[in-house]
Copies of this chain bind each other. A is one copy, B any other.
Amino acid sequence: MTVSRVLRNRGDVSAATREKVLTAAKTLGYVPNKIAGGLASQRVNLVAVVIPSLSNLVFPDVLGGISAELDDTGLQPVIGVTNYSPAREEMVLYEMLSWRPSGVILAGVEHSKASRAMLANAGIPVIEIMDIDGEAIDTLVGISHIRAGREMAARIVEAGYRRIGFVGTHMPEDHRARKRLVGFEEGLAEAGLQLEAREYYQGGSSLLKGRELTERILTRAPDLDFLYYSNDMIGAGGLLYCLEAGYEIPNRIGLAGFNGVDLLDGLPVRLTTTDARRVEIGRRAARLVAGKDAMPPDRLIALAPTFIPGDTIRAPAGSARN
């Protein structure tokens, strides 16, 4: 009926009736039923966004990018959280797809067979974000974490460090952290080096974890001259520990994290890290599902992880000191 036309600004409606309908709707407190609308039109203005965690500082940034880019499109993000569990991811996807969203944005390229099948058959754009080291279901937007790890290794070696340790999460399902470590070790190997020590932890990242792990690894392997952390939060904890313990940074020991979170900008010393391009990844993914950008012909948008020097790594050997 005409009401529908008015509420959706569709078709020709006289200004008079338009006005009438609008005021009637307002006074009645009418809220249209999108369930019926969606059923009738076979279209729904929702974009499913599936991420592993909200407490990880990384994902709010991605969501920010998505949300900013979706804002003027009439599309609405719907967020699902998997807690890094493939089984949960499958459930969440099933739930979300049963609402027939107009697109899916999900973190990572590792998914259960059933999840992949669901997504491939959904008949909607599926953008896998954050990580491009893997096989796309539809389209990938992200950085190579292998490359990020490898590049950091190169910088560290170049700066003259030789006895290098790693501190990171032991979550088999955090594939991006795992790939960074793989790339990192490859990078070291190219220079004829290998990791001297590793320290793993479970659960969320916090300054405290970073401290504890750093103390532990330096107790076990006191002659380490560099520590690579799997994220900035534990890296910052390690940094605080080293400062207190009196290590001279970056000469006696260097440190690097990963992500480039600006929350931590005010630390006593700026932590060396890699910007994971989180906001940009969110934006690009959203632009694709919104149809603002055309799908890339090779189904891939690869961004470059960006090295952030900070103060916890020496200048490369042979370079001018500033």
Listed in ascending order, the chain A residues whose CB lies under 8 Å from chain B are 29, 31-36, 38-39, 44, 54-55, 60-61, 63-64, 67, 76, 78-81, 94-95, 97-100, 117-118, 121-122, 206-212, 233, 237, 240-241, 244, 262-268
Contact = CB atoms under 8 A, between A and B. Distances in A.
Contact of A265 (B38, B61, B76, B207): B207
B266 A206 contact: yes
Contacts of A32: 98
B209 A118 contact: no
Contacts of A36: 39
B237 A266 contact: yes
Contact of A98 (B29, B34, B54): B34
Nearest to A97: B31
A263 to B, nearest CB: 5
The 5 tightest CB contacts between A and B, nearest first, are: A207-B266, A208-B266, A54-B60, A208-B265, A34-B98
Contacts of A33: 39, 98, 100
A55 B44 contact: no
A266 B208 CA distance: 4
A34 B44 CA distance: 12
A175 to B, nearest CB: 21
A63 B54 contact: yes
Given A63-B81, A209-B266, A241-B266, 20 more contacts: A29-B121, A31-B94, A31-B98, A31-B122, A33-B39, A34-B98, A34-B99, A35-B99, A54-B60, A54-B63, A55-B60, A55-B64, A79-B79, A206-B265, A207-B265, A207-B267, A208-B262, A208-B265, A212-B266, A244-B268
A264 B266 CA distance: 13
Contacts of A266: 206-212, 237, 240-241
Given A206-B263, A266-B208, A267-B207, A35 B31 contact: no
